[in-house]
Structure 1
Amino acid sequence: MSPFLQTSGTRAVRPSALPASKLLALGLALACSGCLYGFQAGAGFPDYVRTVAIVPFENETTRPEITDEVFNLLLREFPRSQGLQPAGEDVADAVIRGTITRYDVSTPSYRAGAAGDVPQVLQRQVSLTVQVQIINQVDNEILWESNAVSVRGEFMEETETEDAGRALAIELLVQRIIDGAQSNW
């Protein structure tokens, strides 16, 4: 049996076929409905929080350069990721404060040497831990906090330096802070 139905003896019409005007209307409706959806970075902050201050973190480690490295990357990435404008602490709607509590370099991967030989280090990692708070200064409430954001930046002993591992750890740290801020909403 043919999938076509004969109507008036001359023209074959598929029973499930829709007229072109109905297809066009359906297509326009679907296209327009997609236009109603939008995404705004930082939509999770209260509407009145439009600015953020990032205060250099206190540093309890023996590596003073980490303070500036964390501050600079956080200042560059956080406001942009949340749709906020950077501002001074005295005028900002929100403020980020923190403390760098741990920095160490370890050797998670090495090859044991023959009897009496020194083991060959294959990989090292920089471990970094911070305490962080994001405070809504308008309502004086904590929007997000963590007492131990920990990250590890790994680097190959033979081809990279500790600086590469530290840079990776700081990138991961900033991303974790961004993720934490977004997870609250």
Structure 2
Amino acid sequence: MTHMLTRCLALVLLLITGLSGGCALKYDAGEAFDPEVRTIAVATFENRTFLREIEQDLARALIAEVQKRTPYRITTPAAADTILQGTVVSADRVQLSRVSGVGVPQELELRVAVDFEWRDLRDGNQRASVAGLRDAGRQVATQPAGERLDVARNTVAENLARKIVSEMRSDW
């Protein structure tokens, strides 16, 4: 009987330890944003590349990502506590594959790099800054998919927005 009771207690302890460990991991993995910041302005990034409209795609993706993952409210620079701004510094299309026998590009990858800064407008201090943040999006250029460059551009903008918002987390 004592052997059975010992096994039951060990199982209960194992379950409790496992559950509390799971909760702790979930809590630690959660995103923490500075509660002193209430509002943010998202500026359209400067675009130093020949890739048109990536700066607008990135601005839209950043606004959506900030609204989805942070407690911050989007507003104008005049009314904001902070501003997120940056520059698209490079954009390259790389051919990954071609249609056999024809040489026409089949799959392309759009590689984009940005520099960004998140600045506190109340005191002028820099809250976060990253140079050369990179991501890529793919496009199947041939039929039957026949995707336009917009597909890759939107993918890379959304991926970069996720990375930028992750950089805005508090380190505490």
TM range (shorter): 0.7 to 0.9
Query: Is 1:163 paired with 2:150?
Result: yes
Q: 2:106 aligns with which of 105, 119, 122?
A: 122
2:28 is the alignment partner of 1:44: no
TM-score where L is the length of structure 1? 0.70
The runs of 5 or more residues in structure 1 that have no matched partner are 6-13
Greater gyration radius: 1
Matched, 1:53 2:41: yes
* Aligned position for 2:60: 72
Q: Which has the higher helix share?
A: 2
Name the residue aligned to 1:9: none
Of 63, 71, 96, 1:83 maps to 71
User: Structure 1 residue 183: deviation in Å?
Assistant: 7.0
Counterpart Cα distance in 2 of 1:70 and 1:179: 15
Pick aligned residue for 1:144 from 128, 132, 137: 128
Q: RMSD over aligned Cα, in angstroms? A: 3.2
Which one has more relative contact order, counting CA pairs under 8 Å at least 6 apart? 2
How many residue pairs end up in the alignment? 159
- CA offset digits 1:128-165 (Å, max 9, x no partner): 11110011223321111111111110122221221111
Sort the Cα spacing of 1:49 and 1:121 in 2 relative to 1 into closer, same or farther, 3 A: same
Percent identity for Structure 1 against Structure 2: 21
Q: Where do 5+ consecutive residues of structure 2 fail to align?
A: none
The one-letter code sitting in structure 2 at the alignment partner of 1:110 is R
Q: Which residue of 2 aligns with 1:178?
A: 165
Superimposed CA distance per residue, residues 94-139 of structure 1 (whole angstroms, 9 cap, x where no aligned partner): 11011111222220223664xxxx4243310111111100112233
Deviations 1:15-45 (A, max 9, x none): 5599xxxx9xxx9xx99xx7xx979x76332
Equivalent residue letter for 2:69: S
